[in-house]
A and B are shown apart, each in its own frame.
Chain A
Amino acid sequence: MKKNLTQRIGQSKGRYLFLLFFLLCSSWAMAQTVSGLVRSGSDNQPLAGATITIKGTTKSTAADVNGHYSIAAAQGATLVFKSIGFVSLELKVGSGSTLNATLTEENKNLNEVVVIGYGTQKKANTSGAVSIMKNENLDERAITRVDQALVGQLAGVDVKQTSGLPGKAFSIQIRGTGSISAGNEPLYVIDGFPLTNNSSNTSNGSFANGNPLDNINPNDIETIEVLKDAAAAAIYGSRASNGVVLITTKHGTTGKPKISFNTYVGYNQSSKHLDMLNGDQWIARATEWINSNYVLAYGTSKGATANDNAATRQANLGLSGSQVNSLYMLDPRWAIPGHPGLEFVDWQNVTQRKGLMENAEISASGGTDAIKYFISGNYANQDGFLIGVGYQAYTARANVEINASKKLKFGVNIAPTYSITKDPGVDGKDNIYQQSLYTTPVQEDTVGLYPNFGKNAPYTWGQTNVNAPLGKLQNLVGTTKRYRTLGTLYGEYEIIKGLSFRSTLNLDNTDENRNTYVPYIATGANAAARTFSGANNLTGANSGTYNSFRHQNFVNENTLTYNTSIHSDHSLSFLVGQSYNYDHFDRVTLNSSTGFTSAVIQTLNAAAAVTGNTTATQSVLISYLGRVQYGYKDKYLLSASVRSDGSSRFGANNQYALFPAGSVAWRVTQESFMSKVPTISDLKLRFSYGITGNNNIGDYSSIATLGSGNQYVFGTTQAAVIGAAPNVLANPDLKWEKSATYDGGIDFGILNNRITGSFDYYNRLSTQLLLNVQVPEVTGFQTYLNNVGSVRDVGQELELTTRNLVGKLQWTTTLNIAHNTNNVVSLAPGQTQIIIPNGLEVSDQILRVGYAQNSIYVLKEVGFLTAADIANHAATYGPAGAEQVGDPKFEDTNGDGVITEADKQILGHPNPNYIFGVTNSFRYKGFDLSIMVQGQQGGQIYSQLGRAISRPGQGFPDNEPESFANRWISPTQQGEGRFGKTFSTYNSPIGAFSEWIYSSDYIRVKDITLGYNLKSLIKTPVIQGARIYVTLENFFGADKYTNGLNPEAANTSVGSNSAYPEAGDYGGLPLAKSLIFGLNFTF
């Protein structure tokens, strides 16, 4: 504090001396002292730091914190007022000594400089489709991941939050999906460093090889730009088909040090509770089920009726004494008021909590002519809303740039990070969260929350195969520790004016390990296996794993750029470059499922028998690139680029491919005739065409590798022998997926840029898809990876910003909406469809020419069977006679009188037709408020979860959704039409019905942030900025996924063939909603 004050005094002295100097020097020119106030036109606030220059001279001064300035200037001289973000203003010095200046804010969109691949450009002069998000949208919110920040922000960028697990990566698709097998995630480039694409990540929504955005601190981000069309993205060639996300981190600027301290604290909890049958409802259903089963089994043979008492049932069952059979007999306590001895449990409530969220960050930035720096350190902690789940991250960053001479500068960006994720296995099929939905809600009160756990037996009428979800959350261990360092070293040398050479060395190193531990008390099949009874028992029932990988991605890029202009009308820019990209994975897997020798040691040294192995893969990408940009009077803009990429993943004959692109733009408003149309302040027409690629396949997919699984048996005493044979059909011709994209766009500003926006139409045809196709078996294989098939994505995008109010109360609305249609255009020659092989039950998705990728392909349920239907032999599956009134009725599409696989039809597609986001922000005096709403429309979910918890004929121990109460009860009480009768023996082998299709439409108030600028309260000049805020994230919303939690959930691998990935929701966590209080300080 004292130091700062001294500095200020020093500065004041300096200014007076400076003024004195001017007074002295300019007295001969009849100079006078001009002073005044510089203010912002929009809010009348003083513009501290605005510079005032006497035109045609180097004489200048700066406004003080209150916007005051004074300068010695001769009458008639012109003063130029400049302030960053404002249009500069020129005023003539008149006879008076006071000259106030009111600067109007410049349209940021126009003069903004944007990062393009391998360079920067004025946004006004870009001719490709680029969407931009600035850090101001990030700093004001409580966000733990960069992908989280992108939700709802940019047109055509569909950010799917596939899980409510803290710290888990999101899935991002830009302009739909163009690939079937090779992944649809974009390429991420951080400060020029292209990160490794995700590969094979769509099978279950997780990223086994890590996600490029893991551990990246969102507070370090300056801007995020998305290159959407081919012209913008093609400079990244073979990896650009799915779009390119350019992330720029914060950098220091010349000036005194700026120190920021940001912190927040709050809590998060589940945003959705799926109402299941409560205890009484469950008892009603169980009673109905058991009675039906009892009458079915003993009605004919022994005259059993639902009214039989326990003794009669025992007699019919041949039981005696206290023997019961829960399939045919009721728990007598159900009928007693208060059901003594039983406890009703809402498993979701008992396994959840309000999880603490906290974050603290400090950063410093600044610079001199010689060095500029930005350094930051961040700690984030999020306890999940599910007990035992959490995420912690420690990140640091140093971005330092040194100007060694006028021509030479070099710098280093380094970001070491460390995170710990705790997940005992909660998301997905038969995991703990799903179990918290369907676990029997009625339990013995003697065991309470721990049925079928430790020495506790399961409830006689409850599940025998589900161990207490709460006990598992408390006792199972699943910890992932990730240490990741991103580092970039670069140097730039200006050879001659306009010509500079830049070289970068980048390394992304991730060390990740995950250890799991399952103690015997938690998961044993019976009480004996879950209780300690000596060493044998202990060694039999514990298990543990330790899996780790090291991923290294090294990139060296060298570029030469030349910028020049001819007669100031023609601007030209050239780029040539070369890039080398090396990617290496080392993996270790260790596990033991045969038990531990100690109950206290959880590491594998105490495991009875550990099996493990190590594997490694690597790939190389070598690229050459070039680009020419030409502009005539900033009016006609041309850009052409080409990149040649060679990848080791491809066949020897096709390692290299060429990716050309070109674009043109016309800034109509630069034409003189447009001056007659003052309402249109900006208008630019764009058109582009280009070819981009996708190389996201396994590292050695074109080579005939040898595989296991070829064993045989020989010997007098039969014994296994190893066999070795190729497991891949070599394809030396294997090459890239190619996408050809047309994009037409218009950027506009109306009414002095009160309304700005852009509209794009695009048409992307992805061809020569990397697809596993049939091949004659004479090759030894049924399928091989080849380049066949094509998919088309066509869409429109609108981004709009309107400054509705610009006075004391400011109100800005930004809107983005995108529409995309996706179509399989062709598969292998002669092939019209591929039914996606299903690893869970039966196939429910299809690739069919003319339809959206991964269309939902199931039997259509058309109500319930009536007595008349059965009498008329309505089409059924399986042996006739098993069906009864109230069982589901299906559409027999081919009319052959039986329901088979052939009667399946396409009834939806998973990707939404529309995605949108709207942000309204308000500022009034010191207050700021922003409300962000986002959502999607037009997609469907085929819910594996729905199937799991509400299937026909489901036994009574498993709980059902509460909406099951609205099931078919009788021919006159058909319910909502989704759920059939409680008890059914009509079980389908086909089993994929429209019953489990839900609309994935949702609308969500993603974020509400209310902030107050304390600057007006804190008068000390030391603090340059101070703001407190409160944020509500995911607090309000609505969706149509009535028997599920998250319409975007992806957590379970449904497809059985990795070539046709299908991720489903089999009990994914709901999203977290959070309430956060935060503080931003800037010194």
Chain B
Amino acid sequence: MVVASSCNKDLNQIPISTATTATFYQQPSDFIQGINSAYGALRGYPNNLIQLGEYRSDNIYGVSVSGRDWDPINDFSTGLAPNVYVEGAWNGYFSGIFKANTVLDQIAENGSLAGSASLATRLQAEAKFLRAFYYFELVKNYGGVPLITKPVVASTAIGIPRSSVSDVYALIISDLQFAVANLPANYSGAFPNYTATDVGRATKYAAEGELAEVYMARSGPAYGVQGPGMGLSEWNLAMPLLQDIISNGGFVFNPNYASIFSYANTNPTVNKEAVFDVMYVGGNLGLGASFVWLDLPQNYFSSLGTNTVANGTLEPIPVSPNFVSSYEAGDLRKAATVLTTGYTFAGNTETRPFFKKYVDITKIPTTNSGDWAINYIAIRYTDILMRKAECILNGASGGTQTDVDAIVNQVRTRAGLAPRVNVTLAQLFDERRREFADEGPRWYDLQRSGNLITIMNAWIAVDDTQHRISTVVPNFVIYPVPQTQLDGAPGLYTQNPGY
């Protein structure tokens, strides 16, 4: 029996060449590696934004010839639950939440091994920022989702249903408040604060910007669905956060629109428009960007003669005529955003316009289409300014119509356009459409504006010449729960109405 019991211990084998969650977290760098992995889930965020935020909106008329993945997004199919983009975003964000929760869990259990309380606090703040960031994206796209605050095994997961939107928001807000209070403001401190090598980590101002967005989203109308809008009118909560970024953040309004997205200007310490960046690097490390070509067909790149690795989509996803014609004459942003010259490849000439905001044809990667060396600005200073204007127009204290006009005219001037006075909310959103085109927020702006249904249906009536797009109803404000999730735990999640 002695032999037997000592042998039984042998059944508990610990992996030799890989660490486990039970063994790995032993020193500060282990916890830092843990939080790095949680940032890793950001890498899919720009793609999700373009696929769920642009393809869905009146900016794109991209119904395809042979049934591509983006069709049901673009044409408001009710059979959207199995769609790869709908599934990909859900998976990507929950994967990020799991990694953030793993760090929080490990700090709670083994925080003493993190080296110092201040590092532990910083890491918790980063984890909570990321967890809130991902949860906010989930609420924006799917409404209420399961609330998970620590790593769970499968048997637990199948007992956790969707939470209400307000419960999810409660976690998001408390996480972001913790992040605002505990994240370093900049990258010039000494470890465990951020140093130059930490550029790209979430700062206090990133957390403030994110929290302001959350309050503003909650302030939007609900359309009668359990979506991001709750009609709460929290503009006054957003306003001071935005103001703090503007007053103290050290960010700079870039006077040249095109240079904001220039490859020469992708370094976040140089590009002062970037409040928070999703970071990429080239050089075939598997860490480059692919969002760059999501709005352009392969044939465009092929027509340049340098497309060796399948950059571009399989079929064109053109910009809608309505969007192109929305540019006022002389708008400098048009040339920086839209390819209007067409192209010819293999005898076929394509004349429709395309988004090309992030494309620099001298920077096309040659060995891997996912190796573009450009960051994605997740929170842009111009957005902070324009959100301030939006809060003011919605009655927030701390600003006037003059401030609103100043902000909008600063943007218009940079675009080469004449200033306006007494800018209205509708004009502000219209300006945002062109300012942030191809950056992904259009669909969510429409949600928040309260005019999503009317604007979309009016646009469809004009631009949908192929009669491929369904009439937009309130249920389409949010996406369905992915089919894989319904299948993975039958009966657990209630599908959103209308799907």
Query: A-side interface residues toward B, CB under 8 Å?
Result: 297, 578, 580, 582, 614-620, 622, 646-648, 652, 655, 699-700, 703-707, 710-726, 729-733, 773-782, 784, 786, 828-831, 877-879, 898, 900, 989
Contacts and interface: CB of A to CB of B under 8 A. Distances in A.
A859 B7 CA distance: 54
B43 interface: yes
A898 B67 CA distance: 10
Given A620-B11, A710-B99, A721-B36, A776 B20 contact: no
B34 interface: yes
Given A705-B15, A712-B40, A715-B196, A720 B146 contact: no
B94 A777 contact: yes
A622 B19 contact: no
B17 A617 contact: yes
Contact of B43 (A618, A712, A773, A898): A712
A154 to B, nearest CB: 35
Contact of B197 (A716, A775, A779): A716
Contacts of A620: 7, 10-11, 13
Which 5 pairs between the two chains have the least Cβ-Cβ distance? A780-B98, A723-B37, A710-B37, A725-B37, A723-B36
A778 B157 contact: yes
B204 to A, nearest CB: 17
For B7, B13, B14, B199, the residue with the greatest tally of chain A CB atoms inside 10 Å of its CB is B13
B17 A720 contact: no
Interface string B310-326: 00000000000000000
Nearest to B33: A724
Contact of A776 (B38, B373, B489): B489
Contact of A700 (B15, B67, B375): B15
Contact of B66 (A582, A725, A775, A878): A878
Contacts of B39: 712, 714, 723
Nearest to A698: B15
A350 B33 CA distance: 56
B81 to A, nearest CB: 14
A879 B315 CA distance: 10
Chain A CB count within 10 A is highest, among B7, B14, B65, for: B7
Nearest to B285: A720
13 contacts: A616-B16, A617-B17, A710-B40, A712-B37, A723-B38, A726-B102, A729-B153, A774-B487, A776-B158, A776-B493, A779-B153, A878-B65, A879-B65
Nearest to A656: B11
A714 B95 contact: no
Given A617-B16, A778-B146, A778-B152, 19 more contacts: A619-B13, A699-B15, A703-B14, A704-B21, A705-B18, A710-B40, A712-B40, A712-B287, A713-B200, A718-B373, A724-B37, A775-B158, A776-B493, A777-B91, A778-B94, A780-B99, A782-B484, A830-B487, A879-B66
A782 B90 CA distance: 10
Contact of B102 (A703, A725, A776, A781): A725
B400 to A, nearest CB: 38
A648 B19 CA distance: 17
B33 to A, nearest CB: 4
B152 A718 contact: no
Contacts of B187: 716
A90 to B, nearest CB: 53
B11 A647 contact: yes
Given A706-B20, A729-B153, A778 B148 contact: yes
A773 B157 CA distance: 14
B12 interface: yes
Interface string B1-41: 00010011011111111111110100000100110111110
B494 to A, nearest CB: 14
Contacts of B4: 578, 622
Nearest to A718: B281
Given A714-B198, A778-B160, A706 B18 contact: yes
B122 to A, nearest CB: 14
Contact of B154 (A731, A898, A989): A731
Contact of B13 (A700, A711, A733, A784): A700
Contacts of A721: 33, 36
B155 interface: yes
Interface in B483-499: 484-485, 487-490, 492-493
Q: Size band of the B side of the interface? A: 35 or more
Contacts of B8: 622, 646
Contacts of B95: 777, 780-781
A718 B7 contact: no
B11 A784 contact: no
Contacts of B65: 878-879
B409 interface: no
Nearest to B96: A780
Contacts of A781: 95, 98
A611 to B, nearest CB: 15
B488 A775 contact: yes
A615 B18 CA distance: 9
B199 A716 contact: yes
A655 B10 CA distance: 11
B269 interface: yes
Given A622-B11, A720-B287, A776-B488, A705 B19 contact: yes
Interface string B390-409: 00000000000000000000
B77 to A, nearest CB: 14
A725 B95 CA distance: 10
A773 B488 CA distance: 8
B201 interface: yes
Given A705-B20, A711-B286, A716-B196, A722 B33 contact: yes
Contact of B198 (A706, A715, A831, A989): A715
B151 interface: yes
B154 A779 contact: yes
A404 to B, nearest CB: 25
B36 A711 contact: yes
B279 A700 contact: no
Interface in B57-102: 65-67, 90-91, 94-95, 97-99, 102
Contacts of A714: 36, 39, 197-201, 279
B7 A580 contact: yes
A988 B262 CA distance: 38
Contacts of A724: 19, 24, 30, 33-34, 36-37
B13 A618 contact: yes
Given A721-B36, A729-B154, A779 B13 contact: no
A779 B15 CA distance: 22
Nearest to B16: A616
B285 A726 contact: no
B287 A711 contact: yes
A711 B11 contact: no
Interface in B196-244: 196-201
B443 interface: no
Contacts of B286: 711
Contacts of B97: 778, 780
Contacts of B42: 712
A616 B197 contact: no
B487 A831 contact: yes
B69 to A, nearest CB: 12
Contacts of A713: 200, 279-281, 287
B137 to A, nearest CB: 13
A580 B154 CA distance: 32
A721 B269 CA distance: 18
A626 to B, nearest CB: 15
Contacts of A784: 154
A730 B153 contact: yes
A782 B95 CA distance: 9
Given A706-B20, A710-B36, A722-B36, A780 B151 contact: yes
A464 to B, nearest CB: 15
